[in-house]
Structure 1
Amino acid sequence: MNIDRGRAAQDATYATAAKINADLVFLQEPNKAISSRQGLVMDKEGDVAMICRNKSCGIIAHKSYNGYIKVIFENWVAYNVYISPNISVQVFKQSIDEIMEGIRREGKDVIIVGDLNAKSPLWGSNHTDEKWIASLDMEVKNDGCVPTFVREIAEPTQIYYLRY
């Protein structure tokens, strides 16, 4: 869930996680002050974090990188990723290549969660950001009818779930 660095949004996410009894919560753009104080697993830049609400959920290890974390479980691995929309195509490609190379070496099932800031009419954006589309071999996961993110400032509705 992208918190957009907001304290209130992070507090609301914690409350929702408790209400639905979520074991794990993956955050993008968390509030750095709150996340640091609470000792959350974070990437090196403070752009992603993970909350583990159930200590018996089977985490074996975790590792922090620039812009993402890798959390290793017994039978699967989770990558929590945040990629800024303000980086160059070259930096984007380097980031994706690094993540994809790690995934190829896993030997376990992998789930990628995060905010890649990808834009395409395929999932409801008003324009195509070719650098994202050309670099990822992903497919739309949702039906495109329900927004997964809504912000009135830029594009009124963005609808996307991707599967690699």
Structure 2
Amino acid sequence: MLDPAGRTFNQAYAEELSQEEELIFICGHYEGYDERIKSLVTDEISLGDYVLTGGELAAMTMIDATVRLIPEVLGKEASHTDDSFSSGLLEYPQYTRPYDFRGMVVPDILMSGHHENIRKWRLYESLKKTYERRPDLLEKYELTAEEAGMLEEIHREKSNDIKD
């Protein structure tokens, strides 16, 4: 049941729900629910700290976030594992064709075909984006030695930018 007083929905919760065989989302409208229905539900879920006209949009958001985690829904099995929040970090920047769009080019490293260098670039960019935009995510993220080294480099880079 969708309820502002419920457990806040996040990626980890979506992963839990994706393991369920069946789900029913009950959506309130305007004033909410008859209190008696709460004894019939297993979970109360909140999308966040704001009020919507009804629970339908929140339910659709939760359904989309959950269903995409079910095997074979996205086609490529690992499609969702690099997405923002799946790993605990924001996702690295994405690039498509053409190589040059109005003078903005795809980073050369991505065109190199060197898979290990591309992996490192993606990890570095993911850490950098998280550091800049959502540092709160890093507080609960367990860094590997490689990530800790990259994060130190990012911090030094940012400190030098401030001095300049």
Measured against the shorter chain, the TM-score band is: under 0.3
Which has the larger share of strand?
1
Structure of greater Rg: 2
